[in-house]
Homo-oligomer: A and B are copies of this chain.
Amino acid sequence: MSRKLILYIAMSLDGFIAKKDDNIDFLSMVEIPSEDYGYADFLQSIDTVIWGRRTFDKVLSFGDGVPHKDKKVYVISATKTGKVEHAEYCTNAVDLVRSLQQKEGKDIYCDGGAEVVFDLLRNQLFDRLIISIIPHLLGDGIRLFKNLDIEQHLQLKRSISYPSGLVQLWYDVKKKMEENGS
């Protein structure tokens, strides 16, 4: 079994990960001091992080530098090259993931945004989706799931309901050959 590519992300019930201006204030309604929604445990299982450039800029805007100093961090950008601290710019998410999956290692964490998710979904590269559904209708903004011309069947692995109202859904993505029974 090669290392899994995992999408771990939060969205509103109506499917948005941020407002159009990248504002993610709606996430604060489920921020509770002693509750990390399994994030620390999840981070133990991965050694590589992939961000889109826009998501990365949002992370940098928090002013604490590049997180995940103990991991390989890749930022997908059509134009930027080089590094920011330990984060490395990379032009193509699909090539990157295919290359990473040839190597030994822990699982790979994709944290968005929507453009990178779109490219990876379209190429059927995700092995697992861990989606935290925020009890909120954001109305508009950036959709996690853009329109795609393929369908993919999922297998529910876990569903965890938290006191804040956040529901975390774990799905394995069924690959074509698994669906054929092999």
Interface class of chain A by DSSP:
mixed
The reply to whether the CB of A150 lies closer than 8 angstroms to some CB of chain B is yes
Q: Which of A35-43, A52-60, A69-77, A153-161 contacts B (4 or more CB under 8 A)?
A: A153-161
Given the known interface contacts A137-B145, A149-B140, the answer about A161 and B156 at a Cβ–Cβ threshold of 8 Å is yes
**Residues of B contacting A140 with CB < 8 Å?**
147-149
8 Å CB contacts to B: which residues of A105-123? 121
A-B CB contact pairs (8 Å), 21 listed: A13-B154, A13-B169, A14-B15, A14-B144, A15-B143, A29-B153, A135-B156, A136-B151, A137-B145, A137-B153, A137-B154, A138-B151, A139-B147, A139-B149, A139-B151, A139-B152, A155-B165, A156-B161, A156-B167, A159-B161, A167-B169
Which residues on A are within 8 Å of B, measured CB to CB? 13-15, 26, 29, 121, 129, 131, 133, 135-140, 143-145, 147-156, 159, 161, 165-167, 169, 171
